[in-house]
Amino acid sequence: MKGILVDGWKMKPLSEIATFSNGLWKGKKGPFTTAKVLRNTNFRPHGVLSLDDVAEIEVETKHLQKRRLQRGDIILERSGGGPKQPVGRVVLFNVDEGTFSFSNFTSVIRIADRSEVVPAYLHQVLNWWHASGVTEGLQSRSTGIRNLDFKSYKELAVPLPPLEEQRRIVAVLDEAFEGLARARAHAAANLQNARELFEVAIESALREAGGEPISLAKLLEKGWIKGHLDGNHGSNYPRKAEFVGDGIPYISANCIDGDVIDMSRCKYLTPHRADALRKGIARDRDVIFAHNATVGPVALLSTDEPKVILSTSLTYYRCDEAEISPEFLVFEMRSAGFKRQYEAVMSQATRNQVPITMQRRFEHLIPPMDAQLRIAELGVRLERDTRTLTDSYNRTLADLDDLRQSLLEKAFSGQLVT
């Protein structure tokens, strides 16, 4: 953090202005006390603490006494618990009621002398460190877990203007960030409205086109859907070490990007290994539905490959194109009516998935072919408009994040004006 020293501002290592405590563990010896334990799952973007899904755990009373959270404590995510989990995020604890502690993936930073540092100010400094990528450079990995280099983190220098200036900086940032949050929420609402309009418009076109509801099981009996299988390979599921740099494509739900399947994200199996798989073998012009974990995305597979292997998260629908246009089926399965069916299944389950047996009970609206083609054309136009709005939304988010970062940079270099 060099180059930010302002005339009249002190700079001190974090270790000189705060104490540190590692997180709580359950323990094995009584007596026990019930505590609400905050975890990294309670961390939200930009340093916001969420009290949704707070764990309540029986812990040793003596451990809790040492690790009970106090108002003004800052909780630091020091261990990610996985190779992709970020570390270095911070939240400010400002809760007055209840007995709260913090998990063993986190640490608490407690200001030693509040006549020198305002908690909300230090929280913004530490949040700035994470947002600017400082903590990204202070990470170590052991056994696949990302950990913060705590020793180096404690030695980072904190700019310390006078208390009144700290309070002013916090007030200005709070007001500015509230405005950014409103702008973000407005952009998100516009995007959500556009997506809902797309789903409803397709459903309305389906109703106007006629055609009786028919289950997927009946469509399979009639032969209008010639194949419907998922990528559940059971005990024959490919292991990580079996994927290679080139060969037979293997795709999962994260390969569906909007309305297309991005083959640049796929993995590969050798032809010999792919030949050992008997299910979930898709081919060009199959309709692909994500049914597990990420549920709902639908796209048309377009490939020159003779076959594409599906992961356990995907199902293919293979149409008799004399009866059902694949382009039409993609949009029919993105309609509000079809979405309601799989959401009803998920609402009664403990995990996000729609088993293939349930999919076969779902009803589809299949109008005559001329109407199918018109609906597919409508879907393409609506999808194009939605994609334009999505691109605009993503640009807005990037601009808001850049503005937030700029505000933080100015705040801690003495350039923040009211």
Within a domain: 376: no
Same domain, 147 and 233: no
Same domain, 241 and 341: yes
Same domain, 224 and 108: no
Edge to edge, what strands does the sheet with 106-111 contain? Answer: 18-22, 106-111, 74-77, 90-92
Query: In terms of residues, how long is the chain?
Result: 418
DSSP classification of residue 133: T
Same domain, 290 and 359: yes
Amino acid at 217: A
pLDDT value at position 3? Answer: 38
Within a domain: 156: yes
Summarize pLDDT for 246-262 with one digit per residue, the tens. 999 999 999 998 778 99
Q: Are 89 and 130 in contact (CB under 8 A)?
A: yes
Domain interval for residue 238: 212-366
Contacts of 102 (CB under 8 A, 6+ apart): 23, 24, 37, 38, 39, 67, 69, 75, 108
Same domain, 120 and 18: yes
Same domain, 139 and 271: no
Same domain, 156 and 224: no
DSSP-derived 3-state class of residue 368:
coil
DSSP-derived 3-state class of residue 64:
helix
Same domain, 152 and 245: no
d(CA 77, CA 108): 9
Q: Are 337 and 209 in contact (CB under 8 A)?
A: no
d(CA 277, CA 45): 41
Domain count, the chain: 2
Same domain, 250 and 135: no
Within a domain: 372: no
d(CA 15, CA 90): 16
Within a domain: 173: no
Angle at 198 between CA 193 and CA 203, to 5 degrees: 125
Same domain, 216 and 148: no
Within a domain: 180: no
Q: Are 213 and 363 in contact (CB under 8 A)?
A: yes
Return the structure tokens found at 382.
Answer: 């609506």
Within a domain: 290: yes
DSSP string, 106-152: EEEEEES-TTT--HHHHHHHHHHHHHTTTGGGGEEEETTEEEE-HHH
Same domain, 115 and 234: no
- CA-wise closest residue to 91 among 102, 104, 99: 102
pLDDT value at position 15? Answer: 94
d(CA 258, CA 334): 11
Q: Which residues of the chain have pLDDT under 70?
A: 1-7, 25-27, 80-85, 141-145, 349-351, 417-418
Within a domain: 117: yes
DSSP-derived 3-state class of residue 188:
helix
Q: Are 109 and 126 in contact (CB under 8 A)?
A: yes
DSSP string, 275-340: HT--S-EE-TT-EEEEEESEEEEEEE---SSS-EEE-TTEEEEEE-TTT--HHHHHHHTTSHHHHH
The residues with which 59 forms a beta bridge, in sequence order, are: 33
End-of-domain residue from the set 120, 143, 161: 161
The residues with which 106 forms a beta bridge, in sequence order, are: 77
Within a domain: 221: yes
Report phi then psi at 109, rounded to 5: -105, 120
Distances (CA, A) of 352 to 62, 257, 342, 347: 39, 19, 10, 9
DSSP-derived 3-state class of residue 7:
coil
pLDDT value at position 255? Answer: 93
pLDDT value at position 1? Answer: 43
Q: Are 139 and 148 in contact (CB under 8 A)?
A: yes
pLDDT value at position 217? Answer: 97
End-of-domain residue from the set 145, 161, 177: 161
End-of-domain residue from the set 133, 161, 189: 161
Same domain, 251 and 130: no
Q: Are 161 and 7 in contact (CB under 8 A)?
A: no
Summarize pLDDT for 328-362 with one digit per residue, the tens. 999 999 998 999 999 998 877 666 789 999 999 99
How far apart are the two ends of the chain, measured CA to CA in Å? 24
pLDDT value at position 332? Answer: 95
The enclosing domain of 96 has a CATH number of 3.90.220.20
pLDDT value at position 10? Answer: 87
